[in-house]
Amino acid sequence: MKFDLVEIAPPVFDVDVTLAYATADNLTGRPVYRKAECFLHRDAADKLQAAIDLGRSLGLRLRIFDALRPVEAQWKLWTFNPDPEFLADPRRGSPHSRGVAVDLTLLDGGRELDMGTGFDAFTPLSHHGRTDVSTEAQRNRLLLMGLMTTAGWDFYRNEWWHYQLFDARRYALVSDADLPRPMM
């Protein structure tokens, strides 16, 4: 099966790619990906470009923590922490494993905006609409949501950092062997 994948990297995409799962700075405490490669399905890449353009108009950039996540990586995360509130059961398939989800935050002059929690903070404080995080974090979350939803993305209510295409299930699951350059 041919997958219509696009590499997400500068200079084509003006983003900061900081893939958490290619480092030990993630919920597992060790790298999940052997190689830091950032891909999205072309449909998602087009919507990401729209979000980049909207952010640029405000003097902001996007930092990507995760994009396409091979099925094998989803299994590693699920095995480590099988929590359906924050991780998709790999038997059903994650939008990340279809190349149509992205985890990200906003940068202002290279500095991450305060979102009230870190990426992958699997706590109720990470949910959208929380009023028990600082007013600044609430504004920043709403700003990110505004940029992403205006660009055509759907949000996941439990994670301020996660956005996906509305029709994610219509896209095929992607294994490491399907990638232009393997990640695992």
What CATH number corresponds to the domain at position 122?
3.30.1380.10
**Confidence category of residue 2, pLDDT binned at 50, 70, 90:** low
- This prediction has a pTM of 0.96
**Confidence category of residue 3, pLDDT binned at 50, 70, 90:** confident
The proportion of the chain whose per-residue pLDDT surpasses 90, expressed as a percent, equals 98
Residues 156-180 have pLDDT tens digits of 999 999 999 999 999 999 999 999 9
- Phi and psi at 134, nearest 5°, equal -60, 155
Looking at the domain assignment, is residue 160 inside a domain?
Answer: yes
Looking at the domain assignment, is residue 132 inside a domain?
Answer: yes
Looking at the domain assignment, is residue 71 inside a domain?
Answer: yes
Looking at the domain assignment, is residue 149 inside a domain?
Answer: yes
d(CA 68, CA 45): 11
Looking at the domain assignment, is residue 183 inside a domain?
Answer: no
Q: Contact at 8 Å (CB) between 99 and 67?
A: yes
Looking at the domain assignment, is residue 131 inside a domain?
Answer: yes
* Residue 85: active-site member: no
Residues 45-74 have pLDDT tens digits of 999 999 999 999 999 999 999 999 999 999
> What average pLDDT does the chain have?
96
The proportion of the chain whose per-residue pLDDT surpasses 70, expressed as a percent, equals 99
Looking at the domain assignment, is residue 184 inside a domain?
Answer: no
Place of tokens 């996007």: 62
Q: Which helix (H) or strand (E) holds 5?
A: strand 5-7
Q: Is the pLDDT of residue 91 over 60?
A: yes
Structural domain for 150, as ranges:
5-178
Q: Contact at 8 Å (CB) between 31 and 23?
A: yes
Kindly name the residue from 7, 72, 136, 159 that is annotated as catalytic. Answer: 159
Domain count of the fold of the chain: 1
Looking at the domain assignment, is residue 100 inside a domain?
Answer: yes
Enter the DSSP assignment of 2.
-
The C-alpha angle with vertex 58 and arms to 56 and 64, in degrees rounded to 5, equals: 50
